[in-house]
Amino acid sequence: MSGGETPKTTPAPTDRGRMDKRRAIVDAALRVFARVGYTQASLDLIAAEAGVAKPTIYNHLGSKEKLFRYVMTETAARSNAKTLDVLDSFPTGPDGLRPGLENVAHKLIDCYCDEQSESVRRLLYAEAVRFPDLFDQVRASGPNQFTDALAGRLARLANSGHLQIEDPERAANQFIALVYEELAGLSALGTRPLDPDRVEQIVSAGVDTFLRAFGSRPPEVSG
């Protein structure tokens, strides 16, 4: 190593072990909360699911309420990191716009419909009365960030004249609704399997509706 180089640091083995244990607790807690609900879940059940001692949960994340809040926001943030990767293949011009949007829609559905994302969504609605502030916290740590990023991509297409959009954020929310919201009902928030052919139909119809609403129109020819 030369004198001007700074040695790279890696987490100490004890730090890595602590992070892995915390991840195991979070994943186990989500499974238990999703299976029996917040009220019936106990730290004993979660400890058994995670394969750790009950005091370990207290040491890492505290009480059941603190654990629940952390599980919800952390899982949403983790899922959001995968969802943001969907936008890497977002179309940038008119060539292949429709198939590009369909491809993004399918990848988005894969993220939204995975087991952990659906578990968080079910718990968020089920416990909205008990934790009214948590809804906004979970949205902020996950879905809102994706909506903002999608709005930015749509704004670029609009600025280039490939779409006609006045409010990119609203258009982003409408795109998500068109390709996903019907599936949430059909799957009962992830508790029933989805028919791939039905998914294909909904995505195709959703993208078609979106482009009819926001697609660029040819200039009018004067008489």
Query: What is the number of other CB atoms lying within 10 angstroms of the CB of residue 85?
Result: 11
Best CA proximity match to 30, nearest among 16, 17, 45, 52? 45
For the stretch 116-149, pLDDT in tens is: 999 999 999 999 999 999 999 998 888 899 999 9
Best CA proximity match to 117, nearest among 155, 69, 81, 156? 81
Q: Say what the pLDDT of residue 19 is.
A: 76
Question: Of residues 3 and 180, which shows the higher confidence score?
Answer: 180
Helix ranges (H only) for the chain are 13-40, 43-50, 54-61, 64-85, 97-112, 115-126, 134-141, 143-159, 168-176, 182-186, 196-214
Cβ distance 176 to 150 under 8 Å? yes
For the stretch 34-67, pLDDT in tens is: 999 999 999 999 999 999 999 999 988 889 999 9
Q: Residue 184 above 80 pLDDT?
A: yes
Sign of CA dihedral 145, 146, 149, 151: negative
Angle at 90 between CA 88 and CA 91, to 5 degrees: 135
Q: Say what the pLDDT of residue 64 is.
A: 95
Query: What is the number of other CB atoms lying within 10 angstroms of the CB of residue 106?
Result: 14
Q: Say what the pLDDT of residue 2 is.
A: 47
* Residue 121, CA distances (Å) to 24, 107, 126 in order: 20, 18, 9
For the stretch 196-208, pLDDT in tens is: 999 999 999 999 9
pTM, rounded to two decimals: 0.82
Count the alpha carbons within 13 Å of 93 in the hemisphere toward its beta carbon. Answer: 1
Largest Cα–Cα distance in the chain? 81
